[in-house]
Amino acid sequence: MKQKRTLLPRMAATNIRKNGSTYLPFIGISIFAMFTYFVFDLILKNDIMYTLPKGVYALVLVQIGFGLLSVIMVPFLYYTNSFLIKRRKRELGLYSILGLEKKHIGIMMFWESLIIYGIVIGGAIGLGLLFSRLIFLILLNLAKMPVNVEFAISPRAVTDVMAFYAFITGLNLFVNLVQVGRTNPVELMGDSRRGEKTPRFTWLWSILGLLTLGEGYYRAITAKLDSMIFIDFFLAVFLVVVGTYFLFTSGSVAILKMMKKSKKLFYRPDNFITVSGMLYRMKKNAASLSNICVFSTMVIITVVCSFSVYLGMDSIVGSRFNRNVQISFIGQNPVDREALRAQAESLAGQYGVEPENWLDYARVKLSAHLEDGQFAVSQEFATDYENTFSVKLITLEEYNRSEGTSESLEPGEVLLFSTGFDFGRDTVLFGEKEFTVKKELDSSCFGLKVESDTFDRNYLVVCADEKELAEIAGLLNTDAADNWTYLCCFDLPREGEEADGFSAAMGQYVSGLDGYAGFTDYRQNLRDTESMYGSLLFIGIFFGLIFLICLLIIMYYKQITEGFEDQKNFEIMQKVGLSDQEIRRTIKKQVKMVFLLPLGGALLHTAMAFKMIFLLLGGINFYEKNLLLGCALVTAFAFAIFYTLFYRKTSGTYYRIVKRLE
């Protein structure tokens, strides 16, 4: 009686052990997925994250990553389970023919799921307890937060990961039981080797795929950094994914049919076998190939963006703040400029710091609508935010003093600087009056020029004198006399008690001066920005690994599944006279075609997305195109090498299955 009760559990354990090549990759990816889920949950449930300085940025990003991870893991582990059940249908059918009832098969599958559940949860929690503190310290280090903190293990995180994987295991078991329960033994025996029908209307779907992919590429190439950039990005991604699927399914079949119609090409032993075999399996292949292509693209882009942002962090924070300390006064000359600078130098000497990049100037700032070279202020433009920009008016005297130049202007002439793309006109209209643009400036100490920025640009207008500045302001419905602001800006070291002490003393001093309007120390903003982007790199590394492992699992299962399907076919062909050399050549051609297509597609997708990626990063003030290009080239090259090595490894598995090579 005891043996009867333990028979099915023992059969389940034996099945897992004897089908190690099928189960071990699934168990491995499941352990890694649950380990990642567990670590993220541990970080979120660690109370120290709510008290650390700048911890809120890391906390929010980890919460977002945790949510995305949960969304990604359910369909992916369901997808990999489909490989398992397809591979095992023949075995389950044999059990049924030998007399095992479906309820007993169901119980055996339950025990298999329970054993795998125990292995995965044990492995995930064990790795989590072993490495969670190290990973937490990496997050703190990347986010530039204090690392001398305690990391507590939350029991709630343990129950969360157990419940989450129980849900996934239950879902997969339910689907497997339904498939087995609705199929008779004969169908189970043949279902694992059942081919796919050739998709209908291949040319129609191929053309639709080309059009869809082309539209996605067009949107990516012609994108602009404006309020629609994120909508355009998600639409482009959707179109490219759909187009990729259509081209890998119908497009590949259409090409194979063309090859079949070519007698010179088709009626050769290796081409005949390759084309015929792939033609009737391409619909099934396409699902895997399109997934490989999409996951490859996700890996490359995730790694490129994460490391580009981290390596370009100084540029990002530098572009957001022209100087990291700013003092403002109301009026054109409300304070003695020389006395203010002398006091700053005196305080700097006391605290042992040196303010750098000193800049002080008076200007009039206003907002105006720009269209066809005309700046105007009107009620009809009040809601047109996209074409309304900040305009700063300064005198030629202030400009020359700040820039150290000796420019000259005649009445009716201005110098103009755009922080975005060039203004590009010889004349400019302020209201209804036309002025000559004597020179459009390529650079200025008053702001950073980023030609790709079509959304957040502003303009500096240098006027001949105060009278002309007042006239231009009046044309834009602004009284210059009431809107003068004097600004004093400089840089301080981002960290250090000395810099903090100087900042506090300087703020206290200027607060008592006439016309004082504000003292802003942006260094905390800079530190927060560094923390946020450091946390972003942490998330990017994890998700890059997740996408990569998902990709490798798909590639591996695809090889072993097709190997078992092709094994009998090649045995028959060998019996009718096909030599070992011809079989090897045929296999190599088929495997190369199957696995090089997704790699080529991923590299093409990445190249076409480069401009849109650059613009998206421009939304967080990343403008280092050469750095992004360098990261993209290095990542693509490294990924291609890694992909090729794994392709060679998995193709060896395919050869051994098909030919049973030692």
Q: Please calculate the CA angle 642-647-649 and round it to the nearest 5 degrees.
A: 95
> Of all helices (H) and strands (E), which one includes residue 369?
strand 356-371
- Token pair of 524, please? 């905390």
pLDDT score, position 467: 92
Taking a C-beta distance cutoff of 8 angstroms, is the pair 364, 485 a contact? Answer: yes
Taking a C-beta distance cutoff of 8 angstroms, is the pair 83, 105 a contact? Answer: no
Helix, strand, coil percentages for the chain (3-state, nearest 5): 70, 10, 20
Q: Please calculate the CA angle 550-26-135 and round it to the nearest 5 degrees.
A: 60
Q: Is the pLDDT of residue 196 over 50?
A: no
Q: Is the pLDDT of residue 659 over 80?
A: no
pLDDT tens digits, 69-105: 777 778 778 777 777 777 666 666 666 665 567 777 7
pLDDT grade, residue 426 (50/70/90)? very high
645 vs 382, residue with greater confidence: 645
Q: Is the pLDDT of residue 190 over 70?
A: no
Contacts of 224 (CB under 8 A, 6+ apart): 454, 455, 615
What CA dihedral angle connects 312, 318, 321 and 327, to 10 degrees? 150
pLDDT score, position 523: 79
Across 246-260, 387-401, 536-550, least confident range: 246-260
Using DSSP, state whether 374 is helix, strand or coil. Answer: strand
pLDDT grade, residue 590 (50/70/90)? low
- Token pair of 583, please? 């079989």
pLDDT score, position 145: 67
The residue type of 628 is L
> Taking residues 574-584, what's their average pLDDT?
62
pLDDT score, position 577: 59
Taking a C-beta distance cutoff of 8 angstroms, is the pair 334, 486 a contact? Answer: yes
pLDDT tens digits, 158-177: 899 999 999 999 998 888 88
> Taking residues 574-578, what's their average pLDDT?
60
Across 268-272, 409-413, 425-429, 530-534, least confident range: 268-272
Q: How far apart are CA 52 and CA 402, in angstroms?
A: 41
Across 187-191, 404-408, 451-455, least confident range: 187-191
pLDDT score, position 581: 67
- Token pair of 479, please? 């009284």
pLDDT score, position 234: 82
> Taking residues 153-157, what's their average pLDDT?
82
pLDDT score, position 505: 92
pLDDT score, position 662: 39
Q: How many separate helices (H) and strands (E) can be counted in the chain?
A: 20, 10
pLDDT score, position 119: 92
407 vs 247, residue with greater confidence: 407
> Taking residues 230-239, what's their average pLDDT?
83
pLDDT score, position 465: 92
pLDDT grade, residue 661 (50/70/90)? very low
Average pLDDT, the chain: 79
pLDDT tens digits, 127-143: 888 887 777 777 777 76
pLDDT tens digits, 628-656: 999 999 999 999 998 888 877 777 776 77
